Amino acid sequence: MRHRIPLCLPAVAAIGLAAAVLAAPAQAPDGAAVLRRVDQNMGADNKVTTSEMIIRGRRGSRTVTSKSWIQGRAKSFTEYLDPPRERGTKMLKLEDQLWTYTPASDRTILISGHMLRQSVMGSDLSYEDMMEDQRLVALYDAVVAGEERVGDRPCWVLDLSSRGAEIAYYKRKIWVDQERDVILREARFAKSGKLLKTTDVRNVERMKDRWVSTRVVFKDALKDGEGTEFIVKAMEFNAAIPDHLFTKASLR
């Protein structure tokens, strides 16, 4: 385990430089490899999760509970359970399309275009953020920029830059737990390099044979506010999910 070199000590700077030269290229893994390990930990199997979203606004906070059925990366089905007003609202994601159904109107609406940019339930997350394909390795070139601790966990710091696909964030910086292969912190940047959004993982739990981040805070960096907290209450791996769930008919 290597510690940061105090820059105020010029005497040891040379040693530090030498250490850096030795340490970074020699010990640091390939960025893509780190991302693949992250993907591996998340897995591509079927999952059923129950989660809470705590949305903090200027008038206090509210909690929205939902249950999601996820098949691989392309398909997911979410049903809101609480508060009562949102109960029965459902969302279906198939590849890059997102439908929502509200029982009150009995209508299924395709969320497209600018509507994808709207906030989900008033949170700091947009539908687009939620829709994002998690396989960062497919979208970004990753370079390990160094090592840092997040809390007491040693992390690889990865700089991700867009390969030119149509994506919202041109650059990202992620902190990946060196041992557990979970992302502990993320910063999303504009093309110009300006920080736009931050993600902080507050809690990581061992579930079955994987590490799962169970408490995450998302925040819009340009806006005042405390951000949105996302808490995983339960997660079932390799769940049996009937195929018909991922059809528009199942929304009603």
Partner 1 sequence: MIRFLLKGLLRDRSRSLLPFITVMLGSALTVIGFSWTNGAMSSMIESGARFSTGHVKVMSRAYAKEADQAPNDLALAGAGSLLAGLAREYPNLDWTPRIAFGGLIDVPDAQGETRVQGPVAGLAVNLRDPGSPERGLLNLDKAVVRGRLPERPGEILLSDGFAARLGIGPGATATLISATMYGSLVVQNFVVAGTVRFGIAVMDRGAMIADIDDMRGALDMADSAGEILGFFRDSPYRRDEAASLAAGFNSARHGDGGEFAPRMVSLHEQSGLAQTLDFAAQVYSLMLVFFILVMSIVLWNAGLMSSLRRYGEFGIRLALGEDHGRLYRSLIAEGTIVGFLGSAAGTALGLAVSYYLQNTGFDLGSMLKNASVIVTDVLRARVTPASYVIGFVPGLAATFLGKAVSGIGIYRRETSRLAKEFEG
Partner 2 sequence: MIIPKLALKNILGAGLRTWLNAFVLSLSFVLIIFSQGLLEGMNTQAEEAMIAAEIGGGHYQHAAYDPYDPLSLADAHGALPAPLAVMVSAGKAAPVLVIQGTIYPQGRLIAVQVKGIDPDQTVLNLPTAFLSAAQAGDEIPVLIGERMAALSGLKRGDTVTLQWRDARGTFDARDTVVVQVMKTSVQSIDRGQIWVPLERLREMTGMPGEATFVVLAQGAVRPADSAAGGWRFSGQDDFLADIRAMVESKSVGSSVFYAILLALAMLAIFDTQVLAIFHRRREMGTLMALGFTRGKVIALFTLEGMLNGVLAALVAAVYGIPLLSWVARTGWALPGDTDSYGFAIGERLFPSYSLGLVTGTTLLVLLTTTVVSFLPTRRIARLKPTDALRGRMT
The SS3 of residue 127 is helix
Work out whether 166 is an interface residue with partner 2 (CB under 8 A). Answer: yes
Question: Which amino acid appears at position 134 of this protein?
Answer: Q
Which partner from the list partner 1, partner 2, none does 182 bind, CB cut-off 5 to 8 Å by kind? none
Q: Which stretch binds partner 2 (CB under 8 A): 3-11, 87-95, 184-192, 241-249?
A: 184-192
Would the CA dihedral through 11, 17, 20, 21 be positive or negative? Answer: negative
Work out whether 163 is an interface residue with partner 2 (CB under 8 A). Answer: no
The SS3 of residue 92 is strand
Which two structure tokens, joined as six digits, stand for 20? 């850096």
5: left (phi over 0), alpha (psi -120 to 50) or beta: beta
Work out whether 169 is an interface residue with partner 2 (CB under 8 A). Answer: yes
Site for partner 1 in 80-99 (CB under 8 A): 85-86, 89
Residue among 1, 7, 11, 58 that touches partner 1 (CB under 8 A): 58
For residue 233, the minimal CB distance to partner 2 (Å) is: 31
Site for partner 2 in 185-204 (CB under 8 A): 188, 190-192, 194, 196
CA 124 to CA 190: how far, in whole Å?
16
Location of structure tokens 């299924």: 108
Location of structure tokens 């079927």: 46
Helix (H) or strand (E) holding 41: helix 31-42
Q: Which stretch binds partner 2 (CB under 8 A): 36-44, 153-161, 162-170, 201-209?
A: 162-170
Which partner from the list partner 1, partner 2, none does 41 bind, CB cut-off 5 to 8 Å by kind? none
Binding site for partner 1 (CB under 8 A): 55, 57-59, 62, 64, 85-86, 89, 100, 102, 104-110, 115, 118-123
